[in-house]
Amino acid sequence: MLMNMKELLSVANKNFFAVPAFNIQIGVLLKTVIDCCEELRAPVILELAPVELDFITDSFVAQCLAAAHFAHVPVVVHFDHGTTRENILRAIRAGFTSVMIDASHYSFEENIRITKDIVEIAHPLGISVEGEIGTIGTAANSLEKGTDEISYTDPDDAYRFVRETGVDTLAIGIGTAHGLYPKGFVPRLKLDILTEIKNKVGIPLVLHGGSGNPDDEIAESVKRGVNKINISSDMKDAFFQHLRKDLAADTKMLEPSVVFPGSMNAAREVINHKIKLFNDADKAKYYQL
Ligand SMILES: [Zn+2]
């Protein structure tokens, strides 16, 4: 069932779980994610960032929307890391039920102005808006934008930002980075800042770039009020590691229905693990489907 982010995450906020947002980008990963979520009765967010949408084009959004309508679990189709009024308008026309405007690299005042403008466009159409303050780092292999320096979100800034922009959800910087972390690097989340932000703003918080963070920290962040966690690198890494092996083992394979199932199963393991880690399994029961 298709819905917007506000509808989806108000339930998660009340019941202390987080919904995974998967950057699916291709049909095979879309099917893998939907299959897992139906099996585990888990609400889910399908998301595409601007570079991903440029690659697969708007017709894939229609495919995601159709998958959402057919699914027996709540589904949001979300535009990840929108950067301009133009690409947000394109996303709205394509049918996304939620959009992110990431103006976090501008000054705080400019971020408020840009984000508020998008909220004024999206809300009358029933489309939810995610904003971001503080920055999320960038590790290797990530298409997503970020900075080398992670800056932590100030709780007072978060309060003012939410009040003045009217965003439905807020992405915060508490020490995560996009992409896969270098081997041996163990990031540490500042969970005390997370609690302070949640107490001030109350709305669902979003974690980007949590692929390499220890499971216990992620589980704790969910308990403290994170309700959406973006997952991209972990899932794709499992998928492509397996695909490389399968293709090398049998160089004659050419039917997609033969080539992909092994890799889909490898991705499924990651997806299932994240759903359980985020306490998202079986939460479809809280929604009227
Ligand atoms: Zn992100």
Is 80 labeled as catalytic in the residue annotation? Answer: yes
Q: Is the pLDDT of residue 213 over 90?
A: no
DSSP, collapsed to helix, strand or coil, labels residue 24 as: coil
Percent of residues, the chain, with pLDDT higher than 90? 84
Of the given ranges (125-129, 190-194, 211-215), which has the lowest mean pLDDT?
211-215
- Mean pLDDT along residues 27-31: 98
pLDDT at 266 over 90: yes
- Is residue 138 over pLDDT 90? no
Instruction: Tell me which of 35, 58, 80, 156 is the catalytic residue.
Output: 80
Measured in angstroms, how far is the CA atom of residue 264 from the centroid of ligand 1?
Answer: 23
Mean pLDDT of 116-135: 95
Strands (E), the chain: 19-23, 44-48, 75-82, 98-101, 128-133, 137-138, 169-172, 177-178, 205-207, 226-231
Confidence of residue 145 (pLDDT cuts 50, 70, 90): very low
Predicted TM-score (pTM) of the model is 0.94
Average pLDDT value for the chain: 93
Instruction: Kindly give the distance from the C-alpha atom of residue 153 to the centroid of ligand 1, in angstroms, as a whole number.
Output: 15
How many angstroms is it from 217 CA to the middle of ligand 1?
18
Q: Which domains does the chain have, with CATH numbers?
A: 5-286 (3.20.20.70)
Does position 35 have pLDDT exceeding 90, yes or no? Answer: yes
Q: 172: helix, coil or strand? A: strand
How many angstroms separate the alpha carbon of residue 69 from the centre of ligand 1? 25
What is the C-alpha to C-alpha distance for residues 204 and 52, in angstroms, rounded to an integer? 25
